[in-house]
Amino acid sequence: MLPLLKNIRELVKGYVAALPVAYRTTTQQPIVQSLKEKGHERTSPMNLDPFTHTRTEMADFAAKAQRSGII
């Protein structure tokens, strides 16, 4: 998400706000709705706990966004 936000920040003069969904995705499962556990057709919305980012990971995101001038 950060690369997209950096591009947006460069293109607009006003405020930029973004609220990331706090789940780990992959290139094979790029959006939260596509997350799947092995042996299950769907994970969302009932069993998303294993995909949740930690507080540290969220703080890392915020720090990187701030260094990029996004927030």
Domain range for residue 35?
Answer: 2-67
Q: What is the mean pLDDT of residues 26-45?
A: 82
44 pLDDT band, cuts 50/70/90, is low
1 pLDDT band, cuts 50/70/90, is confident
Measured CA to CA in angstroms, residue 52 lies from 13, 15, 23, 71 at distances of 33, 28, 4, 23
- Our count of domains for the chain comes to 1
